[in-house]
Amino acid sequence: MNDDGTMARVGQLGAYQQRHGLKACTIAQLIEYRRRSEKLVHREQSVAMPTAFGDFTCHLYGIDTDASHHLALTRGEIDPEYATLVRVHSECLTGDVFHSKRCDCGDQLAAALERIASEGGVLLYLRQEGRGIGLPAKIHAYKLQEQGLDTVEANEKLGFGSDLRDYGMGAQILCDLGVRRIRLLTNNPRKVIGLEGYGLEIVEQIPISIPANPHNAKYLETKRLRMGHLL
């Protein structure tokens, strides 16, 4: 604390640190460290989940730090020695439920479930809507896109980074399921980087190709040019 009892901030601590030879880190760094070094996920329940694509086991995972939940749909036995087919899918309510043609999420989800149903593997469904900005912000961003901005510009205008998704909890869930080596179904190289560093090895990146339609052609072009997706 400062002499007047208020909380000393980063900029005010330098002199104190130097005087006493102390090291410092930020709260953000502490969170980042705990995410990497502690197990913050727990399996709450596992149930049979027959679907239109085939029969899966559905695992409900709770996150200790924020009371949120994610789902993992698995098919077949998971062997740590064997490279497991994995799709990490971030929730997109409009795409997944209504098959909105503003994006390709619904088609990607269906393609992934179909493939995992036939080969075995894991579909991890992370409830981080709209690149992590949430459903209301995503709809507002759509409005900005109707006014001519692309996905990245629209998110930036609303004060969000282009991609706030956090794959750390996803990586911990995959570890808990016994997955160590992964054949990852994705077009997004950033997702590969996000999953590595948690004791997971990605041995193969398998693209999912979905044909563009007139409604999402611009969105897919933005993904390819501005976010480095391999489409």
The answer to the question of residue 152 lying near Zn ion (CB under 5 A) is no
Burial 118-152 (b: 16+ CB within 10 A, else e): eebbbbbbbebbbbbbeeebbebbbebbeeebbbb
176 is catalytic: no
Applying CB under 5 A, does 126 fall inside the site for Zn ion? no
Residue 91 near residue 128, CB atoms below 8 Å: yes
Q: In whole angstroms, how close is the CB of 108 to Zn ion at the nearest point?
A: 8
The reply on whether position 173 binds Zn ion by CB under 5 A is no
Supply the Cα-derived Rg of the chain in whole angstroms.
20
Q: Is residue 95 a contact point for Zn ion (CB under 5 A)?
A: yes
- Polymer length in residues for the chain: 231
Tokens read off for 23: 């090291």
Q: CB-based contacts of 157: which residues, under 8 Å, 6+ apart?
A: 144, 149
Smallest gap from residue 58 Cβ to Zn ion (A): 21
Return the residue of 72, 73, 88, 103 that touches Zn ion, per CB under 5 A. Answer: 103
Should residue 92 be labelled a site residue for Zn ion when binding is judged by CB under 5 A?
A: yes
What 8-state DSSP symbol labels residue 160?
-
Does 137 interact with Zn ion (rule: CB under 5 A)? no
* CB of 171 vs Zn ion, minimal distance in Å: 22
Based on CB atoms, which residue is closest to Zn ion, 41 or 220?
A: 220
Which residues would be at the binding site for Zn ion (CB under 5 A)? 92, 95, 103, 105
Active site residues: 163, 165
